Structures are given as structure tokens and as C-alpha cells.
Amino acid sequence: MFLSAISFQPMPVKLKTIYEMAAPYWDNDQVRPVARKSIRRAINCGEPVLGAAVYRSDDGEEKVVCNRCKSRACTRCGRRLTQLWLREQFCRLPDMPYLSVIFTMPDLFWEVFRLNRHLIKDLPAVGGAVIQQFLRQHYGVRALVVVIPHTFASKLNFNFHLHCCISSSCLDEQTGRRRIEIVQFKEEERKEIMALWRAAVVTYLRRALAASLLSPDTKLDMRELKYQSRREWVVLHRYLKSKVAFLNYAARYLRRPPIAECRIVSANQDGVEFEAKIREECKVENIKLSLKDFIAAIIDQVPDRYRHAVRYYGLLAPRAKSLAAVFFKLGQERRPRPERLTWADAIKKSFGIDPLLDSHGHRMKLVSRSFPDRGL
């Protein structure tokens, strides 16, 4: 009677299982090589084919630890890399409030950038330049600017937009002194930022169109660009009270697949059903896609090689020398960069279990290592 009263939750469907079922839709020459490699590595995540290390204790006990894939199509590795990024940024950024600005674009441009992925690499720099130009013209200051490109929505459709975070405390351009605390943008300031962003994107696409850099399948002309340059674009902004609030907000869009496994309701040869949040109606409903459409949506979200998930501008730019001045003006001590945790230390810190202890409590040592298959 006791067991019958317990409601067992079904195990979530693994993305690895869906990848294996949908192999004919992604393992072909029509799919980008980087996407094929990412999915193939995600399927073999934690398998000996990706390499492994053998540990042995003095008592003769052995443990084989397989390498992880570190693929953007793998939920487990995405979580691990996100935690490492959070740890480093917590020590790097000063303690202060931040402003979040979201740059969107008309849905017509989503398909343009999906078909012309080589143009995506420049958009974070465009968004960072818009923020810096606005702060320079209106306040005469430089700020810490973080830009995170985001390509998916809750329905897994390709929806490119930028998440920008700006420090509330800024430094004067001329004197280098600490200036005003920017708490919130006014409505007229929001409209001006929107106009700068709109003009920058339209000009960028106009030049790409004039230079014949768009694919033949792209449906875009100068007349459409002129119409979009007169529309009202959506630019959202809100106040983040602390550095922790900013990091928790930004971490949701980093190094992870576009869907969490807990959102997948069912998956079979007939299709994949998953939960999606409908923001317009403030509710969650189930959406079903065919295997082919689901894999196509995942493939669209896999970034090209050498594309950074986070870009830094202003006082956080790689060549900037002013970050130490920000800590000094705020009266804060800059934290040293944390040492990168090994996999064993990370497990011990998170779960309190040392994976390199044998059944007798003796420490295991590395005795051999196998290397991954070059094809993966």
C-alpha cells in the first residue's frame, strides 16, 4: 500500500537517444561538418572512444575514467563548462549592480542570418559598439560591457538576438574618475539605443547585399531593408541588483543545447514532444516536432568553430588596461583568478565524494591513458 501511494516521475528522455534515432537526418553531407562532429561526440560522451585514463591503487583496484565530449550539443558537458565560467567571472567582475539590454530584430532577419551564418560573427561587435557609442555620447563614460549572442527561443526556432550587460558604475572618458551610477534608461534613451542598433544592423546587411555576400536562397532586397529601417524594433532593458543576479541571468544562455532534457516529454520515430513557454499567453504547452525538424532545430543552434559564446567590450575588452582602475575607484580588492578544478576536485566539491579513493580508502594514481579517435 505504501509503494502504491508513491508517484514515480518518468525518467527524462536523453538527447543522446534522440540523436541515435535521428542519425539519417544529421549524419550526411548536407549538414555542416561542425554540427555532425558535435552530435557524434555527444553520442560518444563518456565512452572509451573519446579517450580514457586508468587509475590504480596499491591494493590493485582499478578505475577507468572516460573523457567527456565538451560538445555544445551535450547537456552534461554544457553544464560543466557553464559552472567553470561562472566561477571565473565571479572573481573577475567587481561587485556592483548591472543593466541588462536585449537587442532583438524583425523575424525576417532571423532567416537571413540562419542562411548566412558567416554574418553572425560580427553582430556581437555591432551590439557592443552601439552600447559604447551611446554611453560616450550621453554620459561621456566607459563601462564594462558583456555581449552574449543567443540564437534560439523556447520553441527551438532560430531567433537571433543579443543579451548585453552593462556595469552601473562607469569611468569618465577624459579624467578616468568614477562617474554616475546608471540605474535605468529612460524611455527616450531606450528609443535612441534602438535607433542606433536598427541603423547598424540595416547598414551591415545593406553592405553585405551590395557586396553579394548573401546566399542565393536569401530573400532580401534594398526595398525590404528600407522598410525595416523605419519600423519600431524591440529593445528591452532591466536592472540587475548584483553581480550574482547578472551571472545567474547570463549563464542560462551559455554553452548548452537549446533544450533541457527535463523539457522533453516523449521521443520516438513519430516525433519529439517537449514543453515550451508561450510568453505572450504566460503559459507552458507541449509542442511536437518530427524527428527531422527537431534535429534540424538542434543543428541550427550549434555554433561554428572558433565562435565565442561571450564577448567583452569597453573596460572588459581583452586589451583594456582599466579594469584595475575600476576596482580601485570602487574601493574593492580584485580577486585572483581561481585555479581550474580537476574533474576529481569538482566532484568532491559538489558531492562530497572523492572519486579517486578505492573501497579501502586508499588513493588511486594515474597509471595509463588512452587517446581519442582522431575521427571524433
DSSP-derived 3-state class of residue 12 = coil
Q: Quick one: pLDDT at residue 11?
A: 66
Which residues partner with 148 through β-bridges?
Answer: 163
C-alpha cell at 228: 525595416
Full DSSP string of 159-180: EEEEEEEEESEEEETTT--EEE
Q: Quick one: pLDDT at residue 329?
A: 79
Residues 198-236 pLDDT 10s:
999 999 999 999 999 999 889 899 999 999 999 999 999
Read off φ and ψ for residue 279, nearest 5 degrees: -65, -35
Q: Tell me which residue of 100, 114, 165, 190 sits closest to 311, measured CA to CA.
A: 165
239 vs 52: CA distance, rounded Å: 46
Cα angle 162, 123, 30 (rounded to 5 degrees) comes to 100
Q: Which residues contact 29 (CB under 8 A, 6 or more apart)?
A: none
Q: Can you tell me which residue has the cell 560543466?
A: 80
Q: Which residues contact 121 (CB under 8 A, 6 or more apart)?
A: 304, 307
Kindly compute the dihedral angle of the four CA atoms of residues 174, 177, 178, 179, in this order, to the nearest 10 degrees.
-40
Where does residue 357 rank: exposed (0-12), middle (13-18), buried (19+ CB within 10 A)? middle
DSSP-derived 3-state class of residue 25 = helix
Domain regions of the chain by residue span: 77-259
Q: Are 196 and 107 in contact (CB under 8 A)?
A: no
C-alpha cell at 202: 540595416
Q: Quick one: pLDDT at residue 81?
A: 79
Residues 231-261 pLDDT 10s:
999 999 888 888 888 888 777 777 778 888 8
Q: Which residues of the chain have pLDDT under 50?
A: 1-8
Q: Are 242 and 268 in contact (CB under 8 A)?
A: no
Q: Quick one: pLDDT at residue 4?
A: 45
Please give the helix or strand (H or E) that residue 325 lies within, else none.
helix 323-330
Q: Quick one: pLDDT at residue 258?
A: 86
- Report the predicted TM-score, pTM, of the whole model to 2 decimal places: 0.86
